[in-house]
Amino acid sequence: MEERRLALTAWLHDLGIASDSLTPASEDASFRRYWRVRLNDGTTRIVMDAPPEKEAIQPWLQIRACLAEANVPVPTVEAVAAELGFVLLSDFGSETLATRLNSQPETAHEWYAEALATLLVLQKQPRPAALPEYDAAKLKAELRLFPEWYLGRHLGVTLTATEQQMLEQSFTALIERAQAQPQVFVHRDYHSRNLMVLPDNHPLRPLGALGVLDFQDAVWGPITYDPVSLLRDAYLEWPEEFTLDLLVRYWQQARRLGVPIHERFDDFYADYEWMGVQRHLKVLGIFARLAYRDGKTGYLDDLPRVRRYLWKALLRYSALKPLLRLFERLHPEEVQVALTF
C-alpha cells in the first residue's frame, strides 16, 4: 500500500498536483480505490487507483468512451498512467443516489425516474465493438459463487447429491431464460451507490442529473438485468407497488423509444423476476466472498435484504419451486407475497 501511495504521489507531482491535498473519496467492492485531490485553482479531481495486477483499467477506459459518445454523464478523463493503474478524472461530487434517497426519501420517485431515463440512454445505443457478450459461461460463473461462498463458506452447508443436481438444473433454467430475452447494453452494477447526484453547476448536468460510475464490467446482455439491479437494490428496499409503478413507466418509455423490449409487460415482468433470481444468488455469493476473503464484513448486513428479494420471486413461480425448497431448508423463515404466477 505504501509503495502505491509513493507512486501516486510521484505521478501527481509530474502533473503539477500537490499530493498533500489527497483525501479518500471512496472504495468499491473491487480492489480499486478513489482519491480526491485539490488543484491550485481550488477545484477538485478524482484519482482512480487500480493496481494493474488486480484491476485492468483498459475496459473502464473503453466503456467510458462508448458511454460518453452516447451522451451518458460519465467522468471526463484528464490524465492516464496505464502502466501504473492511475487515472485522473473529473469530480462528480460526493453525493451518491443512495445518500440522497436516505436523506430525502420523499424524492425517491423522481430520482428513480431519472435513473431509469438514463438507463434507457445506455440501452438504446448500438452494441459497442469493445463490449463482450454476457454469455452462458459468465452467467454460470456468477451463479457458482452462491454454492461456493454463500452455502459453503457463510452457512457451512454441504448439499446432498440430489440438491446439487437440482441446483445445476435451476442454474441452467435461469441462464436459458436470461439469454432468451432481448439483448442490450448492460451496465451490470447499476444501483444507488454507483449513481452520483451531479451538482447543479456541473458541466455534464445538461445530459442528466445523475452521473454514472463503475461501468467497467459492462456487457451485452439481458434487458432486465439493470432494471432489477436498480429497483431491487441490495442496499435499499422499497415497497413493491412503488417499484412496479416505476417499472411499468420504464417499459412504456422503452417501447416509445424503440429499445428492444418485450411486447407484453407480463412477459417482461416475469423475465425481470427470473433475472432477479440470478442476480440475487450471485450477490449472496459475492457479499460472502467480500466478507470472508477480503475482510469487508459490512456486506453481511445486506444479506437479509437480498434473501427477501429472492424468496419473494421463488414463491411466485412454480418452475422455481425446487430452488424454493432448498431455501426453506436453509432459511425456514416465511415470506408472504400477494401473488403467485
pLDDT along the chain (341 residues), means of 10: 86 88 75 90 93 89 95 97 96 96 98 99 93 97 98 97 97 98 98 96 94 95 99 97 98 98 98 99 98 96 96 94 93 56 48
205-244 burial, b if ≥16 CB within 10 A, otherwise e? eebbbbbbbbbbbbbebbbbbbbbbbbbbbbbebeeeebe
State if pTM tops 0.85: yes
- pLDDT of the residue at 1: 58
Q: Name every residue whose Cβ is closer than 8 Å to that of residue 21 and which is 6 or more positions away in sequence.
A: 37, 38
- pLDDT of the residue at 30: 66
- pLDDT of the residue at 336: 47
Task: Answer yes or no: are the C-beta atoms of 297 and 291 closer than 8 Å.
Answer: yes
Q: Name every residue whose Cβ is closer than 8 Å to that of residue 294 and which is 6 or more positions away in sequence.
A: none
Residue 220 vs residues 70, 153, 188, 201, 318: alpha-carbon distances, Å: 15, 31, 10, 33, 29
Length of the chain: 341
Q: Which three cell numbers mark 305? A: 435484504
Rounded-to-integer distance, Cα 255 and Cα 282, Å: 29
Full set of structural domains in the chain with CATH: 2-90 (3.30.200.20), 105-330 (3.90.1200.10)
Rounded-to-integer distance, Cα 319 and Cα 313, Å: 11
